[in-house]
Amino acid sequence: MKVRLFLAAAALTAAGPVLSQDNILDARNNFDVGDVVTVTGVVTSDGNLGSVRYLQDATAGIALYPGADWSEWDAEPGIGDSLTVTGEITEYNGLLEVGPNLSAVVFNGMGMVPEAQIIGAADMEEGLEGQLVRVNGVTFPLAGLEITGNNTYDFTADGETGIIYVRTSNSLVGETLTGCAVDLIGIVSQFSFDGTGGYQLLPRGPMDLIPAAGICYTSPVVQSNMGSNGFTLSWTTDLPSDGVIEYGLTEALGMTATGASGTSDHSVDLTGLEAGQIYYARAISSLPDGESAASPIRPYATVSTSSGDIHVYFNGPVNTAVATEEEALSLGTDMNDTVAAWILSAQHTLDVAAYNFNDQTLEDAFETAANNGIQIRWIYEGQNANVGLNNLPGSIVTHPRTDGQGSGMHNKFIVADAEYPESAFVLTGSTNLTTGNLVQDLNNAIVFEDQSLARAYTIEFNEMWGSDGMTPDAANARFGPDKTWNTPVDFLIGGSPVELYFSPSDGTTNAIREEIEAADSEFEFALLAFTRDDLGDAIATLGQSFFVNPIGAIEQVNTTGSEYENLLSNGVQVYHHDISNDLHHKYAIVDHASLSDDPTVITGSHNWSSSAENVNDENTVIVHDARVANLYHQEFQAILIALGAISSVGESGEGTQCLVYPNPARGMLNVEWLEGKPDGPLVLRDLSGRVVLTAPLHPGTSRISTTGLASGVYMATFGSASGATRIAIQ
């Protein structure tokens, strides 16, 4: 038996009264935060859940938190260890714990791990906190994605939903989220800022996902061949089987389409559908012996008959010298006028989800719209002033998120006329509806004239509203981690693929990471905040490729967990945006100059943080469109020029001929030719005039290695382009 006891009467007295009890349930129910208790039970978790251990006896369970690790004690507890622990009761975001002020840890040998209690997906609550439970027949809507750390994942079972949380320490990280129906085991935990809700299941590794069916899905159900009257759904299974799609306009389904028999590679065409509509569907795969497996019911969109036009606006400078087919719009202080014009274009309805609101121009627009008979619903973040709401007509119905978790309702979107294809639109992006964001801080807005997308945003709005009518239902409203993945992902808007993700239910961070990893030639990012380790690591890995030189700007570089220093130390060309006004963007641009490499823009309200991924209400669009990518590239280039990270070369009557970045260069120099083609090489001279590097230049972007050059300042010329520029090498 391993024992380490440290009992200091003075310390215990200072922490609170030492009270005796018979079991863990007594400790949970009859003692207060600050009291010191002694509890005995069997450990049900290990390092998969970090330093926290869960202790359970015949009556209840409770978390043990030693601090960073268990190094002060004789051993690190493992599953099955019987412990007697003395320590102070604390609470962390709703979770009751013993510790970190532990004064005694006694190892009593091995005990019997309690059998997991069978519950339903929606049964997690305070009475089960800290206990080992089992939910049978679980499926994951995000099946097929790679599991990443510090993330939550929705699951369903018998029509109910729940959430698992996976720490970075969990051996599930890096695994593929299973497409099998599983019996899910884990420990009931809680993470909430106000002590209500926020219950989640903590699996302790792959062993806690037990296959529950004889046939498994080896891929998610994928939508393709999208049209106004139909689309194709495809999936794969581990065994040859008969494939069927059940579908309908509601989750009750009701219609069936049959695919091929005896195959592992399934594909079913759905035809005769309505344009601009959301359909619900699931795949059924059946074996000859009658056993079958069903995918989760998911919504899918048809192509709408709306115009499909996509409009992009910035309030900061843009560099039109790098425009390809269209010059980006820099609205400056007129951004609020443009948003107001879109508000006034609504003919029937407006749904607004706004983190904060105080702009007079928009107040006037909403008042005019309301007076014109437009039905307006409004969801806002209750932690913020939202003073503009006080000046709006009483016909505008408002509903707050009031739980105080994270940034809360952090969306910035407006949906108009979702039931009318000729006038439907969605306005989203990074800008709050405040004067500071609209006319001062750097922000972007993007507008989609598309009914399918508007209907998807309406589904999300109604989930937070609690109803589909004008009156909100607070009892039915879902925010943050309580929401489900209930909206389509894929849309075809004006011929361009667009993906839609809402946080925290839809796996947004995973979608962003996949786009980072897909970059083939260029990757640019402009972010207010960047604290997600997995996204930072993905960019660092991308930068180690000779073919892609990521470059970005971040506003908040000194926040806890900022990826700024990590990126710098990995050689990524990232700059601190330390000039006025704030860079409030949340966007990235992938392969803007490579038409064959799927030019893409990621934008929306979602900062690259764990709070955005797991707590806040956020929306993100991923737009696969070369024109849109170039528009964002024009704004990004202006940011880099303002920061002094890019040099313009060769001023002539026809404009700037090329841009050179980054400056200073760290191992790689990019020369982006803007017009015509270079008629000579790059020549780099030191300050004595000696040529130290000659490299050919090509149309588009040339990547030139500066490895081996001494740190210092050099003069560069570019073919016959007039003038020279100073290049710093680090």
| Cβ 350 vs Cβ 416: under 8 Å | yes
> 190, 129 in Cβ contact below 8 A?
yes
Average pLDDT in the chain:
91
Residue 650 — pLDDT band, cuts 50, 70, 90?
low
Q: What is the pLDDT of residue 300?
A: 98
Asked if the model's pLDDT at residue 340 lies above 90, the reply is yes
Average pLDDT over residues 50-71: 95
| C-alpha–C-alpha distance, residues 453 and 499, integer Å | 10
Single-letter amino acid code for the residue at 466: G
Residues 155, 199 contacting (CB under 8 angstroms) = no
The pLDDT value recorded for residue 656 is 58
**CA 680 → CA 173, 488, 684, 718, distances in Å?**
50, 50, 13, 7
DSSP letter string, 692-723: EEEE---SSEEEEE-TTPPSEEEEEEETT-SS
pLDDT exceeding 70 applies to what percent of the chain? 95
Burial category of 703 from C-beta neighbours within 10 Å (exposed 0-12, middle 13-18, buried 19 and up): middle
CA separation, residue 155 to residues 182, 530, 548, 722 (Å): 10, 28, 36, 62
Give the CA count within 13 Å in the CB-facing half-sphere of 504. Answer: 29
The more confidently predicted of residues 21 and 560 is 560
* CB-CB contact of 721 with 654 (8 Å): no
How many Cβ atoms from other residues are within 10 Å of residue 642's Cβ?
A: 17
Average pLDDT, stretch 396-423?
97
- Residue 395 has what pLDDT? 97
The phi-psi region of residue 337 (left if phi > 0; otherwise alpha if psi is between -120 and 50; otherwise beta) is alpha
Containing 371, the helix (H) or strand (E) segment is helix 360-371
Pairwise CA distance, residues 23 & 38, whole Å? 9
pLDDT tens digit sequence for 321-332: 889 889 999 999
What confidence score (pLDDT) does residue 143 get? 85
Whole-prediction pTM value?
0.83
pLDDT, mean of residues 377-400: 97
Residue-range domains of the chain with CATH: 3-110 (2.40.50.200), 117-211 (2.40.50.140), 222-301 (2.60.40.10), 310-498 (3.30.870.10), 501-642 (3.30.870.10), 647-729 (2.60.40.3080)
Residue-level pLDDT at 652: 36
Q: How would residue 723 be classed by pLDDT, with cut points 50, 70 and 90?
A: low
Q: How far, in Å, CA of 224 to CA of 231, rounded?
A: 6
- The SS3 call for residue 462 is helix
CB 607 within 8 A of CB 563: no
* CA-based nearest residue to 424, from 340, 308, 336: 308
Phi-psi region of 258 (alpha: psi -120 to 50; beta: other; left: phi over 0): beta
Is the pLDDT reported for residue 461 higher than 80?
A: yes
CB 342 within 8 A of CB 447: yes
Query: How distant, in Å, are the alpha carbons of 132, 142, 266, 591 from that of 656?
Result: 66, 47, 53, 22
Asked whether residue 90 carries a pLDDT value surpassing 80, the answer given is yes
> What pLDDT does 665 receive?
83
What was the pLDDT predicted at 653? 34
Q: Model confidence over 137-171: pLDDT tens digits?
A: 999 988 888 898 888 888 999 988 899 999 999 99
Confidence band for 651, pLDDT divided at 50, 70 and 90: very low
Distance (Å, whole) CA 162 – CA 153: 8
Q: Is the pLDDT of residue 579 over 60?
A: yes
Tokens of 59: 């009556």
